[in-house]
Amino acid sequence: MDESSVKKAAEIILSAKSCIAFTGAGVSVESGIPPFRGENSLWNRYDPKVLDLNFFKASPEVSWPVIKEIFYDFFGLAKPNKAHKVLARMEQAGMLKCVVTQNIDNLHQDAGSKEVYEFHGNLQRIICTRCDYRVMAPDADFSKLPLMCPKCGGLLKPDFVFFGEQIPVEAYEKSVVAARQADVCLIVGSTGEVMPAAIIPSEAKRNKAVVIEINPDESHFTGNITDIHLKGKAGEVFSELEKFLF
């Protein structure tokens, strides 16, 4: 990451009419949450079938203990890092319209971001698969698994998108509208392999947005729709960007 690219990116952000950020698992890596793919990733350690909707419904006694370990014992301890914090500060300063996130960890909201479109839901909410019962994770009783609904006896499920599930309609629609109106799109820590989420930056690009990517590695976006690649870890790059933005 050279300073002139960071400075140029900051100038583009500062002159934008509508800048949006699209974030993936990489933005939370410096908070201690590993990505799903690649070295040290979650799917190297756990079987992704526990998040397959049909498997989960058929074998909740197998899925729930793994889900609890990954998402509630482990993710629950994570705190926002510099990248989440600078993105929240950018929104407060009127430089950023919204964050479209593929993450389910609530770290953008914990950092203070208000306009967050959760493409894949949020692990904080736990919902009944049968009735309208819902509970926030800190209030749920994880001592007996699988979690069952105290109201109707149905199976409880984290309110994030499992394999085989639809994207939440409202988040999808708001994200597409924001992408179509954007003249700058930041992509932070995403491989671009997960569909349909990966269409969001492409949608912005189709409407002539300048695409600034922040990732230590190359992704499907790099060399394809990316205009400026700030090659580095999200927290480090945002520490540098911050100097020119505020």
Give catalytic residue positions: 120
Counts of helices then strands in the chain (DSSP H, E): 9, 9
Smallest distance from the beta carbon of 235 to ligand NAD, in angstroms? Answer: 7
Smallest distance from the beta carbon of 51 to ligand NAD, in angstroms? Answer: 10
| Sign for the pseudo-dihedral over CA of 83, 104, 222, 44 | positive
Residues 1-20 that bind ligand NAD (CB under 6 A): none
Structure token digits, residue 195: 């569909």
The residue among 149 and 219 lying less far from ligand NAD, judged by its C-beta, is 219
From the list 9, 20, 21, 33, which residue makes contact with ligand NAD (rule: CB under 6 A)?
A: 33
Residue span 111-150 as binding mask against ligand NAD, x where in contact by CB under 6 A, dash where not: ---------x------------------------------
Q: Is 167 in the site for ligand NAD (CB under 6 A)?
A: no
Long-range contacts of 59-66, Cβ-Cβ distance < 8 Å, separation of 24 or more: 60/146, 60/155, 61/145, 61/146, 63/146, 64/145, 64/146, 64/147, 65/145
Between CA 201 and CA 185 the distance in angstroms is 7
Phi, psi of 226, deg, nearest 5 = -75, 130
| Interface contacts to ligand NAD, rule CB under 6 A | 24-26, 28-30, 33, 35-37, 42, 102-105, 120, 189-191, 193-194, 197, 214-217, 219, 233-234
